[in-house]
Chains A and B, each alone.
Chain A
Amino acid sequence: MVAPKASRRSPAPASIRPGARIGRYTVGARLHEGGMADVYAVGSPRARAPLVLKTPKLGRDHPLSSLMAFENEMQVLARLRGPHVPQLVASGDRRERPYLIMERIDGDALAQAAQHAPIELDALRNLGVRLCRAVQALHHQNVIHLDLNPSNVRNRSNGEMVLIDFGMAHHAQLPDLHDAAFGEEEGTTPYIAPEQLHHVRSDSRSDIYAIGAILYQLATGHYPFGRPNLLSLAKRLVQPPLPPRCYRPDLPAWLQEIILRCLEIRPERRFATAKEIAHLLAHPEAVHVGARGHRTRPPGWWQRLRGWQRSVFQKFDEQSAPRPYERLTTSPHVLVALDLGHCSEALGEALRRAVRRLARSEPHSYFTCLSVLPSQERAQAGKATAPDMARQAAMRNWAQPLKLASPRLVFQVLPGDPARAIVDYAHQHQVDLIVIGARASSALRRHLGSVSAAVAAQAPCSVTVVRTRRDITK
């Protein structure tokens, strides 16, 4: 664990208002006035990027919970790294005048899209994948946001999503400052997960629920449970939302399947990780569409009665909840790099054995079989060519004895240098493990170089190099 970065503390003036100076920062115009905090633009001659200042509302007219939410945000933000959160630049003494100065992120593509929803399918998939990557990066650092909604998701100019407002967030390695006894809201009504209404704050799948609610909104232009009010809160404890296809009959069944799985009442019936959602949005053919995906009518009276009956006894237990980071490793994304043209029967079998073992020991694992075509064999980029299809067919043939159902297995052919393409794919799709065969013939290896060695050296994750005994002793 990284020690918190010491943020520079500057003496604060008695009050923060436009024109006030805090050390070398000048407070600019107020950008946003919220119930709990105000946000101002901030200028500094030395700042490389635009900054904002956030300060909680204090005093008799404002709840103490605003100071607590602010302090929570300061603690969490100081411990987060990477492009998917705003960088914390400075903070003010909480006992005098508390404030945070952080990177200003203006892009609001998701909020815009939510306003103009329903949106095109391609745009929805694109936004969904980027949102899931940002949430995955957060869970990877043991933090659950617990207030994901379109206005808390910004984007950089390169399109990377940035999550903001960590007032509600939970850091699994810190004492939780939030207290239900305040009677404060648990999040933003349309996006709150059922277990949050039971004051459970330690389940990363609450964020998965919010992703589902955002995707629902983008797809239909409606909130999953209608206008935000007490009834809409109560409804989510007893029944699934109206199927999105009721609003948009042309919505593909696979997308409805993804959205409704995110919005399952029980956290264990949702996706375990945001990465899985991103994977399926990018590979719709891998979605196993069940009754949930095909539904076009609201739940019948019998189903509603059953849901109500279940909700009476429903418990959302948070005893010894796995930490967000721990949950990520229970559903690994495995990349199987296949070079079937240069692969002996024995090596093919050894690779299958390795994959079978993984599939059994990790029931929630999912696999991408990847074959790389050197560029010259590929006539037109982006279009399936004869060699492409031949590779696909060869991989399907190889995988057939594994008997892995389609949602767990997809096939992909990419052009380019094999090692580079494999490593790049692993980066882009946040692969957890690469399984790759070692070339059998040393002459061939000398001639072509060892792809497995290059992959093992450069991969962002663990690599299992599979070799047959006969190949070693030859």
Chain B
Amino acid sequence: MLQAILSDIHSNLEALQACVGHARERGATHFACLGDCVGYGADPVPTLDLLLSLPNLVMIRGNHDEALFRDGVIDVPGIREALDWTSEQLTPAHRRLLGDAPYVRALGDATYAHASAHAPTQWEYLRQPEQIQDCLAATDTLVTFIGHVHVPMVFYRTVAGTLREFNPEPGVPIPLSATCRYVINVGSVGQPRDGNNATGYVLYDSDANTVTFFRLPYDFLSAADKIRAAGLSERFAERLAYGA
């Protein structure tokens, strides 16, 4: 199975189209979306329509998705207004897609979650070793794919129990060893925050047991213009240029 894993799209249609097109060219037959499909961006409807059209989609719920249905999840000014603006436009099909998505799902050798497989509704940012260990303890699969932090990263625990970080290089397939366990942050499609504004996703080959990170240039100027035209926060448009 060749699966494209997308996360934190945040209604950025241009970025999503770039990733999906790239993954399809490489033969991806399966897709996973690790949540936060909406918020920040100006294209929630076309974004969700494109997601609905993807074959074999594993859908996970993120905190921005949950905030559409529940109060108190996100109260940050600017983001709250963007979510309310989004909510007005959604069709029942869109609401079902987001509302039915689980927090965590395990399939084969992989577990999919938005923030962490451990206490997923806490919406933690996984950066500290203890958090990674908790996430690993909550699953029994070889690899757990997460998003939420918007920075691509590989964490792995060796058979001797040492936890390590590895900064992945785009385009270089990383073999997953059966002697280790992995937590892989796939980065963000719609709002990268590692100083590189290129959109990013991961291809997971479950037969060859490899993951490959990709970073792609995309039309962020159009995405930013749409955010301004929709009257959403200028800051959301600006940060697309800097990857911050």
Is B truly associated with A?
yes
Interface residues of A (CB under 8 A from B): 1, 3-4, 6, 64, 67-68, 71, 75, 94-95, 173-182
Q: Is the CB of A67 within 8 A of B175?
A: no
Cβ of B29 within 8 Å of any chain A Cβ, yes or no, is no
Cβ of B180 within 8 Å of any chain A Cβ, yes or no, is yes
Query: By CB atoms of chain B within 10 A, which of A3, A6, A179 has the most?
Result: A179
| Least distance between B210 CB and chain A CB atoms (Å) | 7
Bitwise interface map of B from 152 to 172 toward A, beta carbon under 8 Å scored 1, else 0 = 001010111110101001011
Q: Is the CB of B173 within 8 A of A3?
A: yes
20 of the cross-chain contacts (CB-CB < 8 Å) are A1-B172, A64-B159, A64-B179, A68-B158, A71-B178, A71-B179, A174-B172, A175-B154, A175-B156, A175-B177, A175-B180, A176-B164, A176-B166, A177-B177, A177-B180, A179-B159, A180-B162, A181-B158, A181-B161, A181-B162
Q: Is the CB of A174 within 8 A of B174?
A: yes
Residues on A with C-beta less than 8 A from B177 are 68, 71, 75, 175, 177
Task: Known contacts A71-B179, A173-B169, A175-B154; decide if A181 and B174 are in contact (CB<8 Å).
Answer: no
Cβ of B50 within 8 Å of any chain A Cβ, yes or no, is no
| Least distance between A78 CB and chain B CB atoms (Å) | 8
Cβ of B138 within 8 Å of any chain A Cβ, yes or no, is no
| Least distance between B110 CB and chain A CB atoms (Å) | 16
Q: Is the CB of A95 within 8 A of B179?
A: no
| Least distance between B207 CB and chain A CB atoms (Å) | 9
Within 8 A of A (CB), among B107-133: none
What count of chain B residues pass the 8 Å CB interface test?
21
Q: Is the CB of A1 within 8 A of B169?
A: yes
CA–CA, A434 and B154, complex, Å: 41
Q: Is the CB of B169 within 8 A of A177?
A: no
Q: Is the CB of B179 within 8 A of A177?
A: yes
Closest Cβ neighbor of A95 among chain B residues: B178
Q: Is the interface of B mostly helix, strand, loop or mixed?
A: loop
Residues on B with C-beta less than 8 A from A177 are 158, 177, 179-180
Q: Is the CB of A182 within 8 A of B169?
A: no
Of B159, B174, B178, B208, which is within 8 A of A175 by CB?
A: B174
Q: Is the CB of A75 within 8 A of B178?
A: no
Residues on A with C-beta less than 8 A from B161 are 181
Task: Known contacts A64-B179, A173-B172; decide if A4 and B210 are in contact (CB<8 Å).
Answer: yes
Residues on B with C-beta less than 8 A from A178 are 158
Residues on B with C-beta less than 8 A from A95 are 178
CA–CA, A385 and B188, complex, Å: 68
A4-B210, A71-B178 known; 9 new pairs, CB 8 Å cut-off, are A1-B171, A68-B177, A94-B178, A174-B174, A175-B164, A176-B164, A177-B177, A181-B158, A181-B160
Residues on B with C-beta less than 8 A from A174 are 166, 172, 174-175
CA–CA, A153 and B154, complex, Å: 34
| Least distance between B5 CB and chain A CB atoms (Å) | 18
Closest Cβ neighbor of A70 among chain B residues: B179
Q: Is the CB of A68 within 8 A of B159?
A: yes
Residues on A with C-beta less than 8 A from B160 are 179, 181-182
Q: Is the CB of B164 within 8 A of A6?
A: no
Closest Cβ neighbor of B154 among chain A residues: A175
CA–CA, A178 and B162, complex, Å: 10
Of A4, A180, A181, A182, which is within 8 A of B173 by CB?
A: A4
Shortest 5 CB-CB distances between A and B: which pairs?
Answer: A181-B160, A179-B158, A175-B166, A179-B160, A1-B172
